[in-house]
Structure formats: structure tokens, C-alpha cells
């Protein structure tokens, strides 16, 4: 980091406009909350849906907050953060589609890649490391349980920057992890600074009680989990496997 005052940034947040989850706050309410919490820039990354408009951008700009277009896209069954990329439903059907359409002012991030969910990249990440510009470090961990460790090792292996994101579905998550980015306060400058490694992720291990409270809050946004037995089995099996492999 140089003498530029680093920007406080979160590039993975969900809002009420997300059609997959039942989030309680709107994009406008999130922007207002971000200003109160001292953020300089953020991306609203709802599932497979772009939540970005001239009105929303102006609402943020009037409050001196930079809003960057983003989507948490489902590609080949896995979640990928597409930041500042042109997005329409169905236009990224494969990882090759993303690779072909990447440009200098885009950012492709691997979100929570080794967390125990069937939509996380996990082993797929090693097959396509060239696709990603950065790897996410999520807030959801304790001193003993930390699915970020393997993501950090992957980032070190491929010399990729690590960004801190909240992946917030409830406001209690927002601000528990974020990035400090050494850049001018524009979308392009922030993206280029992250690609160049001028970024530091900020987070701390959560007390187990807080982690469990957040887990319950997020589960409520997902709806009744008993209606998703296959997903529950996959998450449980993946968690047990990581414990046995010592990958926490």
C-alpha cells in the first residue's frame, strides 16, 4: 500500500431483489447502510440477476458511494462472481463463455470456493485457475473451523489476490469481511488495483455463538431447508469429508 487512502469495498452482497433468497432489505436500503458503515464502494451481486440501474447508481453517487455492477452467476452448476461484466440471463452458460467475454475492466472472483455446498467451486477451481482474477475470503469462520484456508492456499499457488467479502444475506453479516483497496474512487481503478494485488482482506474469526446466529439467519432467507434434502445431504457430506481430510 502507498500513501493513497485505501477504499473500503465489498463485492459480494445480496438484497431483496434477489429472486433466489428472501432477503429483508432492498438495494436502496443497502446503499444507505453502506454509507453509514463507512464503505466507499460495493457491488450488489444477486443470484443470476443484475441489480443495477441509472437510478440506483445515482442514489449511490449522491451519497459518495461507488456502485459497481455485479452478479453471482450460476455457471455449470457453480457460483462465480462476475463484476462489471455485461450480464443477461443465460448469456454465460459455461466457463468458456466467461473466458471469451472477459475484458480488462472486468473482474471474475471465486466466491467461498471451498465451503461445503454443491454450488461452490471446490475441485473445479483447480481445473480453471486461469479464469479467475481473485479469490474470496468470506467472513464465515472461527479459529477452528475455516473453509477459507484452502482458498488462501489456492490463491498463493496461482499468485492471485484475496478479497474480503461479506456475502451478506442479513445485515448482521455486512461489514464482517471487506477489502481495503488502494485505488482512486472509480470502478475501473478499483478493479485494476485488485488485479494488481493492491488489496487487503479484512476479517476476524467469529465467536461460535455469532456464527451460529448468522447461520440461522441465512437459513431463514433460504426458505425451509427440509424441502432441499439433496442439498442438505451434500453439505453435510462435504463438511464431514473436510473434517476427516483435515482441510478446515
Please say whether the beta carbons of 167 and 151 come within 8 A. no
Look-up of cell digits 465467536: 207
- Write down the architecture of domain 7-245 according to CATH: Alpha-Beta Barrel (3.20)
Phi first, then psi, for residue 204 (nearest 5°) are -140, 150
Look-up of cell digits 440461522: 216
Average pLDDT for 20-41: 97
Average pLDDT for 199-214: 95
pLDDT at 155 over 70: yes
**pTM of the predicted model as reported, rounded to 2 decimal places:** 0.89
Amino acid at each position: 500500500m502507498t500513501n493513497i487512502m485505501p477504499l473500503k469495498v465489498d463485492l459480494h452482497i445480496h438484497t431483496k431483489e434477489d429472486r433466489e433468497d428472501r432477503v429483508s432489505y432492498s438495494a436502496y436500503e443497502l446503499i444507505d447502510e453502506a454509507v453509514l458503515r463507512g464503505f466507499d464502494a460495493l457491488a450488489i451481486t444477486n443470484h443470476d440477476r443484475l441489480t443495477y440501474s441509472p437510478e440506483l447508481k445515482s442514489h449511490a453517487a449522491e451519497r459518495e458511494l461507488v456502485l459497481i455492477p455485479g452478479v453471482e452467476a450460476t455457471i455449470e452448476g457453480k457460483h462465480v462472481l462476475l463484476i462489471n461484466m455485461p450480464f443477461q440471463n443465460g448469456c454465460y452458460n459455461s466457463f468458456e463463455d466467461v473466458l471469451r467475454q472477459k475484458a480488462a475492466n472486468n473482474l471474475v472472483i471465486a466466491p467461498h470456493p471451498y465451503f461445503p455446498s454443491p454450488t461452490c467451486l471446490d475441485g473445479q477451481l483447480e481445473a480453471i485457475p486461469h479464469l479467475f482474477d481473485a479469490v474470496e475470503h468470506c467472513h464465515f469462520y472461527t479459529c477452528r473451523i475455516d473453509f477459507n484456508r484452502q482458498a488462501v492456499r489456492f490463491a498463493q499457488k496461482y499468485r492471485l489476490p484475496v478479497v474480503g467479502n461479506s456475502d451478506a444475506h442479513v445485515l448482521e453479516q455486512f461489514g464482517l469481511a471487506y477489502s481495503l483497496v488502494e485505488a482512486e474512487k472509480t470502478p475501473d481503478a478499483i478493479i485494476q488495483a485488485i488485479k494488481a494485488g493492491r488489496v487487503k482482506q479484512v476479517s476476524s474469526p467469529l465467536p461460535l455463538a455469532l456464527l451460529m446466529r448468522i447461520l440461522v439467519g441465512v437459513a431463514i432467507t433460504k426458505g425451509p431447508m427440509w424441502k432441499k434434502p439433496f442439498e442438505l445431504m451434500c453439505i453435510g457430506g462435504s463438511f464431514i469429508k473436510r473434517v476427516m481430510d483435515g482441510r478446515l
